[in-house]
Amino acid sequence: MNHISIWNLSNKTDLLTRIGIRKKKSKKLNAPLLIHEYCEGIDLNGQKVKSILFSTDLALIENSNCDAILAVYPFSPSEKIMETIIKFSNKPVICGVGGGVTQGAVSIQMAVEAEKLGACAVIVNQPFKNEDIKKMKQQITIPIISSISTMDFDFQKRIDSGVDIFNVTGGNQTNELLNHLRKTYPKTPCISTAGQSIESLDKTIKSNASAVVLTPPSSSLLFKEIMTKYRTNIRWFDRLFKR
């Protein structure tokens, strides 16, 4: 399956729409119904969250029906980005505050600011130090999420430090990690990435993910799909009227 298949996008266009008699409704990036049918969800800001969009792209955020937003990017955390996404999305936003690049007092202060701005949770990467999680926990009341990417890790110490939720991002080990965490630490919710196909999503759900993190197709890929439709429709119109 292609990357877009998980989002329920369709290439079908009926006759009336093609010739301009019926306006085509704008399609959104719809999270698969499987997630809402089978995931138990996590509680963020008093809302039950089952699908989480991994994006800082405002256009994709606006056109997605996911329950929450995961705002993480490969740079130091930014208050401007946090504030913009929180105000714009009108949904629970999980803000990245530290990991391999940003640590210590800077991350703790960013977590404090994220809560002030209205973030529903903060997230740190696996390299983040447990001692800093303890300090962060003393200064914020919103949940702390920790990304987990390998089995070779002391999960109990993470929980003892103050982590409320695990985010499983283990590549081809994701479902193995997820199964282990759910069986060993059943009281700690786990959100998880789910790959790019319905098949991989199904495996993640069967591994008891509490909620699923979905990576949207890029704008360039969506444009490619749209332009392909345009060219197909133009050729169809030319054949119909023999221009």
pLDDT by residue (tens digit) across 83-94?
A: 999 999 999 999
The pTM of the full predicted model, rounded to 2 decimals, is 0.84
Tell the burial category of 66 from Cβ atoms under 10 Å away from its Cβ (0-12, 13-18, 19+). Answer: buried
The pLDDT of residue 8: 54
Query: Residues near 72 by Cβ (< 8 Å), separated by ≥ 6?
Result: 54, 56, 94, 95, 96, 123
The pLDDT of residue 6: 78
Closest residue by Cα to residue 207 from 167, 168, 178: 178
| Intervals of the chain under pLDDT 50 | 1-4, 9-22, 24-25, 27
DSSP three-state, residue 143: coil
Distance from the Cα of residue 45 to its chain's centroid: 17
The pLDDT of residue 17: 42
196 backbone φψ class: left, alpha, beta (φ>0; ψ -120 to 50): alpha
The pLDDT of residue 160: 98
Domains of the chain: 31-216 (3.20.20.70)
For the stretch 141-191, pLDDT in tens is 999 999 999 999 999 999 999 999 999 999 999 999 999 999 999 999 999
The pLDDT of residue 11: 38
Alpha-helical (H) ranges within the chain are 15-18, 33-38, 58-62, 79-89, 104-117, 130-139, 155-161, 174-184, 198-206, 219-241
